[in-house]
Amino acid sequence: FCDQQATFNIGMPTQILQIKPELELTFRGPFDKVVTSTLRLRNPGSDVVAFKVKTTAPKRYCVRPNSGLVQPNSEVEVAVMLQPFEYDPAEKARHKFMVQSLLVKSGAVESLDELWKSATAETLMDSKLKVVLDPGTDQARADPTNQATATSTPSPAGEKQNQQQQQQAAAKQPQKQQQDGSSPTAPRKEPSAPSAAAAGSPDSLRSLQSEIQRLKDDNARLQEQELRLRKLAMRDTKSSDLQQQQQQSEASMGQMQQQQQQSVLALPPVLFLVLALVLGLIVGKFIL
């Protein structure tokens, strides 16, 4: 319904439905939440009547149901919901509603949409309602000047009574002062408030000092623990570095020995034969 807008037609038949309210649809505030007003549609006739509700402000209102059928001698309630908005007393409500109705011929109604599309201006009936916004508590909150004027401007009778009371109080004041033995100009001594320095007791100061000293000791102890842990971490790091270096040196020495052995084993057998022949010649010369 919120996307439908009323289009008012002129020269239609008299409305067959009995609509309550007849002329004005009232919404009572406050308007910071959804406000609902009810339309009652009664069919006093003997024929089924189709109805449809439209408005000039479709984005401001929602209607449930916005269309339907009213059986003979029965009534249908339509809820019109005003959406929340910021109420301005200076703005007048210009919104309107229109209730359209249409007699349904005897027989089953297949589709309301088709029924309304086939309707003519001679068969349609409509009624118009004006929207009235009753702010309730919002009006007093929006126009505080009226309240200020009402409270600050006394009536003539009240003003005269106030003057009489002031005169009587002024006449009684000297008598009361004489009875009390005090001068009207003598200032009254008010008891002095305790100073902020006196409010703090020595026990609380001592407890604060002891708490501060305890916190300092805890801080120093934490710093010592942190320094000791750093030294241990550095020592562990150095020892691990030495072990890694030793392992690396042992691994390099093992690799060198393996290479030497491999180099000796890699000599060809011919070289051994040559060496044996040379040694044999040298030994033979010495023997001969």
pLDDT digits (tens, 9 = 90+) for 174-207: 555 555 554 444 445 444 444 444 445 778 888 8
Q: Which two tokens stand for residue 89?
A: 């007393």
Contacts of 80 (CB under 8 A, 6+ apart): 25, 36, 37, 38, 39, 53, 61, 62, 63, 97
Terminal-residue alpha carbon distance, the chain: 138
| CB atoms closer than 10 angstroms to residue 58 | 15
Least confident stretch, 22-26, 109-113, 164-168: 164-168
Q: What is the rounded distance in angstroms from the CA atom of residue 15 to the CA atom of residue 56?
A: 20
Q: Using alpha carbons only, how large is the chain's radius of gyration in Å?
A: 55
Q: pLDDT tens for residues 197-252?
A: 444 577 888 889 889 999 999 999 999 989 989 888 888 787 777 888 888 888 88
Q: Measure the CA dihedral 164/165/170/176, to 10°.
A: 140
Q: Following DSSP, what letter does each residue of 118-179 receive, concatenated?
A: T--TTTEEEEEEEEEEE-THHHHHH-HHHHHHHHHS--HHHHHHHHHHHHHHHHHHHHHHHH
Q: What is the rounded distance in angstroms from the CA atom of residue 28 to the CA atom of residue 49?
A: 30
217 sits in which H/E element? helix 202-265
pLDDT above 90 covers a percentage of the chain that reads 36
| CB atoms closer than 10 angstroms to residue 130 | 14
pLDDT of 149 higher than 60: no
pLDDT of 22 higher than 90: yes
pLDDT of 5 higher than 50: no
State the pTM of this model: 0.45
**Considering only CA atoms, which of 54, 69, 68, 72 is closest in space to residue 9?**
54
Over range 5-32, report the average pLDDT.
79
pLDDT band at 267 (very low <50, low <70, confident <90, very high): low
Domain assignments of the chain as residue spans, ordered by start: 18-140, 210-241
Q: pLDDT tens for residues 9-19?
A: 455 678 899 99
More confident residue, 142 or 274: 274
Write down the pLDDT at residue 151: 39
Q: pLDDT tens for residues 101-116?
A: 999 987 657 788 888 9
Q: What is the rounded distance in angstroms from the CA atom of residue 168 to the CA atom of residue 48?
A: 80
More confident residue, 20 or 179: 20
Write down the pLDDT at residue 191: 46
Write down the pLDDT at residue 216: 92
- CATH number of the structural domain 18-140: 2.60.40.10
DSSP tag of 90: T
pLDDT above 70 covers a percentage of the chain that reads 70
The pair phi, psi for residue 9, each rounded to 5°, is -105, 155
More confident residue, 100 or 175: 100
More confident residue, 35 or 88: 35
Q: What is the mean pLDDT of the chain?
A: 78
